[in-house]
Structure 1
Amino acid sequence: MKISILGDIALDKSVNTTNAVSEALVDRIVIANLEGPIKSDFSAAIKTGPTLGSDLQPLKELLSDLNVSVLMCANNHIGDYGEQGIEYTYNQLNLLDIDSFGYKSKVFKWLEDSNGKAPNIQIINMCDVEWGTDRDFYNGAISFDFSKLNNAINLSDKNSFRIVVLHDGKEYHELPSPELRKLCHNIIDMGVDVIICQHSHVVGYVEMYKNAKIYYGTGSFCLEKKGPMSNKIYNSISVNIDLDQDFNPYISETFFVNKNGAIDVSKPTKLKDLKDLKMEDYKEYWDNEFKKKSYLYVGVLMGHSNKMIRILNSLGFYKLIMSKRGLRKIKNVVRSRAHREYITNMKL
């Protein structure tokens, strides 16, 4: 069985794909992340951050060009048009004969080969807790927790090959954060063979842990939007998993570039590997990042807009008003489960 897992897809205008893209995906089970619902005349959900979605016709054309047969929907944008948007998306994908999971309580999927046989290959799709997950409404994106993962794994046998696609990570960072790395290691310890992290919009580092491979970012395959997001260049990879009859995997990558709405195969490069990075450099990177963003998150917790945060932070406002004791109180409230429960259940 040959499987290719692509990065994010969201588009409201047509894109072009070269013959090389089609050839790279021929005779494979092609799976992608649908970064947002199929749009209709529904109102956007009340949330923070951008609202994403795809127009049906350009999405239909792209999925056909790529021969996509399965879409993953556990992400922070699939609920951007509420429950109606999710139901509409699910129904439209069924009409296109495309299976979808990662929402509507569908945590995982068994993959079948072209002959309809069902070898023990399980792909599990979950995401970080943001807007539009099953914490907000029943049919939302599957939010990650260990009990759901354990239940899914327990439905497979010890000879199964298990893939977890986790929509988690920090945007535009190639390096995984310490918490994400620890989480992925714990998932591997439960018996997972490959982890693919998405959400960062960049191609990230890779890591081998206990003979299992972790991809910390596949990049955005196609985020083609009208307006300010137009004319950007996106680099991405597909993770290709070829399994023989004994479930021995051969894992490789295909590199893609989307430049001004034209998607092509790009020259392969060596992925950055965590084993080549000194751990003191890794620690310093994240120490600096956390320090740099500390006061920005004070502004978020105070409910300030992004524009106001940028202005006030540049003026040193947060440093002026926030004592170290105040920062310690914020840190304790956010990291404590007992306190955090009050925050996550605030009535807005």
Structure 2
Amino acid sequence: MDILKLVAVGDVYLKVQDHQDPFFNVHSIFKEKDILFGNLETPLVNKGQKSNKAVVLHSDPKNVEYLKNADFDVLNLANNHILDFGEEGFRSTIKVLRENNLKYLGSEYKKPGKVIFLEEKGIKFAFLGYTIGRLKTSKNVYVNKLKEQKILADINLIKDKCDFVIVSLHWGTENVFYPSPSQIKLAHKIIDNGADLILGHHPHVIQGIEEYNNGLIAYSLGNFQFDPKLSQSKFNKSLILSVEFDKNRLVGFDIDPVEINGDIPYLLSGQLKIDFINFISELTEPISKRTITTLWWFGEIGSEYLNSNMHSYMVRIKKYGFLHFLEFILWLCMPFCILCYIGIISRRIR
């Protein structure tokens, strides 16, 4: 029976130096794929109205050639940076991808984001994509929001029309190595309702990979072709996830560790590769053993979340003025921040 290999990577920015192919060092892995997935964490545009954010991303539309050369099959656009250059940037991105016959999911222009069907080796896949974030969209821009009922309803509509359902989720807390209890609960529910594989991204660092109820959950694929400094992260490791399917089931998975130097991913080998795979196992263990509680999680993520968001607010206040200072004061009093304070205190007591 034919085995199909789906290869997935995390955040792709497409900023390059000296016209260097950013994927040159991982082409040997990409060539083994039947389907290649990535999260395109940038609009493809050179002009437009910038968002009032601390970090605003964009990449030259000409850099789409690197996506074509790498032979990406599916790109997720449901993320918190796709509207960094407003509707003009979004429209440009859609236009560039369509002109280059690159399939995308999670966002669409002038109509709701659609499901992507792909068939390889007689096996039919359906891809869905959703994102967290307060995205300000116009009537012409549709971005699939991460809402449980919508996700489950969408899966129910398509699961009988394909062999496997793949769900892309842009979610989680940036620069933390563990999904929250609510993420784990939602991921399990998504698998229980008919999905076979969840591909997570947004935290900019990797998280555990859980085998659950004949499905697979990669809670965060991390950065990939993305300078960690952009996400205020000192963690420069990532992975390439390869998942194998036959006609009837998800057969297994493998990971190829990479190190990001600037914005270029390089494959790890030898002891560095072994150490990284062991690190993934360590991240997965508390998920599999169900030991991630709400209080423990806020203790783990509290300092990182507060520090990174304070930095973001300081940048925005300096750039955009007093209204962002007022928003910062309100943010400090939000329930999520209060739980972070409690978690930090609890961890120090432990």
TM-score of the superposed pair, with normalisation by structure 1: 0.75
Q: Give the deviation of 1:228 after TM superposition.
A: 7.0
Change (3 A) 1:78 1:148: same
Q: Check the 8 A contact 2:130/2:143 in 1, yes or no.
A: yes
Change (3 A) 1:235 1:108: farther
Aligned 1:64-79 pairs, distance under 5 A: 64-79=68-83
Letter in 1 for 2:195: V
Deviations 1:59-94 (A, max 9, x none): 324213422132110100001111121111111111
| SS of structure 2 residue aligned to 1:75 | coil
Aligned 1:9-28 pairs, distance under 5 A: 9-14=12-17, 15-17=20-22, 21-28=26-33
Confirm whether residue 192 of structure 1 aligns to residue 195 of structure 2: yes
Change (3 A) 1:273 1:214: farther
Confirm whether residue 276 of structure 1 aligns to residue 281 of structure 2: no
Partners in 2 of 1:295 and 1:195 — Cα distance?
28
What's the C-alpha RMSD, in Å, of the aligned pairs?
A: 3.7
Q: Give the deviation of 1:138 after TM superposition.
A: 4.5
For structure 1, the residue ranges without an aligned partner over 5 or more in a row are 310-320, 336-348
Deviations 1:6-42 (A, max 9, x none): 1111133244457651111114221211102102221
> Residue 341 of structure 1 aligns with which residue?
none
| SS of structure 2 residue aligned to 1:120 | strand
Q: Check the 8 A contact 1:107/1:152 in 2, yes or no.
A: no
Q: Check the 8 A contact 2:38/2:72 in 1, yes or no.
A: yes
| SS of structure 2 residue aligned to 1:151 | helix
Change (3 A) 1:200 1:125: same
Aligned 1:182-261 pairs, distance under 5 A: 182-224=185-227, 234-261=236-263
Change (3 A) 1:290 1:234: closer
Partners in 1 of 2:113 and 2:292 — Cα distance?
40
Partners in 2 of 1:296 and 1:206 — Cα distance?
27
Confirm whether residue 87 of structure 1 aligns to residue 91 of structure 2: yes
Q: Give the deviation of 1:288 after TM superposition.
A: 2.0
Aligned 1:294-333 pairs, distance under 5 A: 305-306=313-314, 331=335
State which of 109, 113, 118 in structure 1 corresponds to 2:116: 109
Partners in 1 of 2:222 and 2:301 — Cα distance?
23
Percent identity reads 24
Alignment length (residue pairs):
306
Letter in 1 for 2:239: I
Letter in 1 for 2:126: Q
Q: Give the deviation of 1:55 after TM superposition.
A: 1.5
Q: Give the deviation of 1:307 after TM superposition.
A: 6.2
Higher-helix-fraction structure? 2
Q: Check the 8 A contact 1:174/1:216 in 2, yes or no.
A: no
Change (3 A) 1:254 1:141: farther
Letter in 2 for 1:243: F
| SS of structure 1 residue aligned to 2:88 | helix
For structure 2, the residue ranges without an aligned partner over 5 or more in a row are 318-328, 340-350
Partners in 1 of 2:233 and 2:61 — Cα distance?
21
Change (3 A) 1:141 1:18: closer
Letter in 2 for 1:33: N
Letter in 2 for 1:286: W
Q: Give the deviation of 1:110 after TM superposition.
A: 0.9
Partners in 2 of 1:24 and 1:219 — Cα distance?
18
Q: Runs (4+) of structure 1 moved beyond 6 Å?
A: 227-233, 293-297
> Residue 36 of structure 2 aligns with which residue?
30
> Residue 156 of structure 1 aligns with which residue?
158
Partners in 2 of 1:112 and 1:252 — Cα distance?
22
| SS of structure 2 residue aligned to 1:153 | helix
Partners in 1 of 2:253 and 2:303 — Cα distance?
37
